[in-house]
A and B are shown apart, each in its own frame.
Chain A
Amino acid sequence: MDRSILDGYDPQGLYCEMLRSSASHVIRERLSALSIDALKVRAAAANAELYNLGITFTIYSDARTIDRILPFDVLPRILSADEWRHIERGIIQRITAINLLLDDVYHDQHLLRDGVVPAELILGNRNYRPLMRGIDLPHKTYVNICGTDIVRDERGTFLVLEDNARTPSGVSYVVENRHMMLRAFPDLLDDIGLRPIDNYGAKLIAALQEVAPAGVADPQVVLLSPGTYNSAYFEHVFLAREMGVPLVEGPDLVVDDDRVFMRTTGGLSRVDVIYRRINDDYLDPEAFVPESMLGVPGLMRAYRAGNVALANAVGTGVADDKAVYAYMPRIIRYYLGEDPILPNVETHICREPKALRYTLDRLAELVVKPVGEAGGYGITVGPRASLQELDECRAKLAADPANYISQPCVNLSVAPTLIDGQIEPRHVDLRPFAVTGSSTWVLPGGLTRVALRRGSLVVNSSQGGGSKDTWVVE
């Protein structure tokens, strides 16, 4: 028998998603039948096809558009059915708590009165939207689409790193990566009990129709995008197609008599549910940023009148704030009376003097994150930082401690990854996607992001990250 392509692979003592998984046996066997050259050829063909299909995110420079694909690694990340059941239960629990939290925050605020979370953390949060106070949403669902970032530590424990409860992206890559694997590696996937993922669009539109205003028989759903210049435009197209709904931009919509319409060839046509991929700030120039060209004047009036549903709801940003995240275990216990199924990464809230002192004392061991940033920006990874970077971080912490949290440096699990014709360990995370209408459904697997730079722990696409197909295997 030929040497397996995994023979020389050494995870260097880190938790390996492939070697440690009880479900990867058949796949490892099949991989061993492939030569590294054959793997390289198929990987190159797969990446070329992604480019031709235009499964790209867009970068703009010198007024010209550059389309980049999210680099795709062909070696899948494997999850066993047991591992997945655990993750799925944990996510459903978490989203249930988040929706209860938001309903409470925008109604009676029991949680603040009971002192579970400091009131200023919620009411002083820049994503808190006072105009949501007292609005009753169908099924009390605020977060219809959630992406939960999960990492795995060196002992193999799954930990929640971040909740993305505003406009999480990446699900299009999950489905397109699978399509790519089905074309490039039919021999690998054959008959292994792989959970299918191609019903995401059907589940999404069903959930969106469930939250339509009461009494609408056949609700018209649209997807609201900032337009072709948005870096996630491909995903907006993907989702609109999967749901079979119009992809609209702000100027396509008009509000008349607190009702929302779209401009069509036949005149104005009623819109009932908007899956919006625009941040709160830009949704309605009458209510938020007045110079927004992306939004729809009067949209919030129609929303408050209950004539249109927005997904996700306005004001969900208070729930996925990095400072509020630290309280999530307590929030779960408060609303559900249960312990969290998926623990948080231990988090120190630097607005609290004790935590600030702890952070400053152990800066070189900790990861320091600004609470308001996304995309991996502004993070200082203590063990990897230079003395100068640590000094800069210290200064920023001293100047504005409330803007930061710190966490221990989790040694993320790794997965074998094809790098320059070699199989090497690279750190991965996992972003499962959950859809909630009247109840919550989680897409099996999710987006596995991989830090392609050796030793890097940052998996974001803007920072040299790629992706893998994620297989939940029976």
Chain B
Amino acid sequence: MLNETELIDGCIKNNRAAQQVLYNSYCRKMMVVCLRYAKGIDEAEDILQEGFIKVFHAIKNFRKEAKLETWITRIMVNTALNAQRKKMYLYPMVDVEDLHLPEQEISLSGIHFKQLLELIQSLPQGCQIVFNLFAIEGYSHKEIAELLGISEGTSKSQFARAKSLLQQKLLKESTYYERYGEGRI
């Protein structure tokens, strides 16, 4: 079994076997990342494919200062953002009104990540991206604003809207479970 350094060296030399091992090691985790930014499986797979091609082309620049997984995730996110930017050109992100939903405790413990994915995918385009970047990747609103070329206020309002929508949907889901149990899943 190759260790990470050997794997990276093999990929740098364009060794197909090493590239395949690297892909097999990270493709499942990265698929989830892509699914969070996409609207469906096909779109996610396109992002995954493009992302891994970038990984193999750019791996010679990997400095080994960060974890390989973190580096690959960053490439996937950037690839996803590039794909979404094209859509954002058609549907520019603007400040949105807060839905003013009542603050309510929501537990995610009983919810499978696939359900959560579906909920995130159902968010409007701009909300989905900002939500992913802010809540899961850990970017600040300032960084998001720079990344997407929007104002910080827009990023904040988009996140607030995303959060409200998710809370609303999660509330519906939890009510549904309470009423009908988890057999639906």
The yes or no verdict on A and B being binding partners is no
